[in-house]
């Protein structure tokens, strides 16, 4: 199966850390990604993690991968109002001679003052 | 700005009509992907082209077709449109098969079928 699940909403206060969670089902995924979508905009690639890694840090972003539980998380440190958006996790799937991304349902992050 | 361009930005049309969405990938990217984003289905992969050839197919309806031209731009054709086809259609591009697969998305075309 290729279902990717996320919680729908997350509300945090400015300056706090945000943690967005994702579970996926395809254990053969080699890459897992996080995308950000602001209102009326396209998808912005934030970061990715290779499946043989447990953690990746990129400035305020930390990605944790638990391959055994097929669980991925994105931590945003010192969350700002500009971080308010919908966050999608996506898994990379090889299919036939090509590839695709299977996206989660998206988590809407609301940052309050 | 991802470097992927899509036209038009918005499209309003009637049921039964046919439309063409256009995508220009980032310079140097050989792969083009099309995705549909709707409220009920979420983000769904439709189709992938690599250097002019179809490489992967998702849940793309038979009424929909795509192609990638020699200059690497791509078009998604939607015909016999239904109300349920109203959605945001994204194009993405990536460098090549066999490398780190970073897909960069365009701003999307919002299609409204009335």
How confident is the model over B38-55, as pLDDT tens digits? 988 899 999 999 999 999
**Burial environment of residue B30 by CB neighbours within 10 A (0 to 12, 13 to 18, 19 or more):** middle
Query: Rounded distance, CA B18 to CA B15, Å?
Result: 9
- Residue B75 and residue A76: Cα distance in Å, rounded? 37
- Tokens, residue A24: 């996926």
CA A47 to chain centre: 8
3-class SS shares of chain B: helix, strand, coil, % to 5: 5, 55, 45
Distance from CA of B42 to the nearest CA of A (A): 6
pLDDT above 60 (res A62): yes
Q: What is the pLDDT of residue B7?
A: 97
Are the Cβ atoms of A42 and B90 closer than 8 angstroms? yes
Angle at B61 between CA B57 and CA B63, to 5 degrees: 125
Is the Cβ pair B50, A35 closer than 8 Å? no
Cis amide leading into B14 (omega within 30):
no
Average pLDDT over all residues of chain A: 92
- Compute the average pLDDT of residues B57-74: 96
* Nearest residue to B46 via CA among B92, B96, B6, B106: B92
pLDDT attached to residue B99: 56
Q: Judge whether B33 is closer than 8 Å to chain A, CB to CB.
A: yes
Q: Give per-residue burial for A90-113: e unless 16+ CB within 10 Å, then b.
A: bbbbeeeebbbbbbbbbbbbebee
Q: How many residues does chain B have?
A: 114
Question: What chain B residue is nearest to A42 in terms of C-alpha separation?
Answer: B107
Q: Indicate the pLDDT class of residue A27, thresholds 50, 70 and 90.
A: confident
B108: closest CA of chain A, how far (Å): 6
State residue B41's pLDDT score: 87
- Residues of A near B (Cβ–Cβ under 8 Å) read 31, 33, 35, 41-45, 48, 88, 92, 95-106
| Measured distance CA(A37)–CA(A5) in Å, rounded | 17
* Tokens (6 digits) for B98: 């066999």
Among candidates B2, B45, B100 on the partner chain, residue whose Cβ is nearest the Cβ of A102: B45
Contact yes or no for A98 and B55 at CB 8 A: yes
Above 80 in pLDDT, residue B98?
no
pLDDT of A3: 81
């Amino acid at each position: 199966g290729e279902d990717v699940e996320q919680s729908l909403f997350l509300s945090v206060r400015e300056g706090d850390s945000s943690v967005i969670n994702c579970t996926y089902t395809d254990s053969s995924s080699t890459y897992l990604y996080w995308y950000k979508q602001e209102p009326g905009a396209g998808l912005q690639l934030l970061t990715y993690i290779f499946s043989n890694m447990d953690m990746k840090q990129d400035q305020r972003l930390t990605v944790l991968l638990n391959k055994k539980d097929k669980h991925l998380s994105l931590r945003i440190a010192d969350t700002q109002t500009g971080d308010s958006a919908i966050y999608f996790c996506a898994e990379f799937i090889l299919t036939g001679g090509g590839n695709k991304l299977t996206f989660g349902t998206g988590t809407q992050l609301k940052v309050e003052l | 700005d991802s470097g992927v361009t899509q036209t038009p930005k918005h499209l309003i049309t009637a049921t039964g009509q046919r439309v063409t969405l256009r995508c220009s990938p980032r310079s140097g990217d050989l792969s083009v992907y099309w995705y549909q984003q709707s409220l009920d289905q979420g983000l769904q992969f439709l189709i992938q082209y690599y250097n002019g050839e179809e490489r992967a197919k998702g849940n793309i309806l038979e009424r929909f077709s795509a192609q990638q031209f020699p200059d690497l731009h791509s078009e998604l054709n939607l015909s016999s449109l239904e109300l349920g086809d109203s959605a945001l259609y994204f194009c993405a591009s990536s460098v090549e098969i066999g490398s780190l697969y970073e897909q960069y998305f365009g701003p999307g075309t919002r299609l409204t079928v009335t």
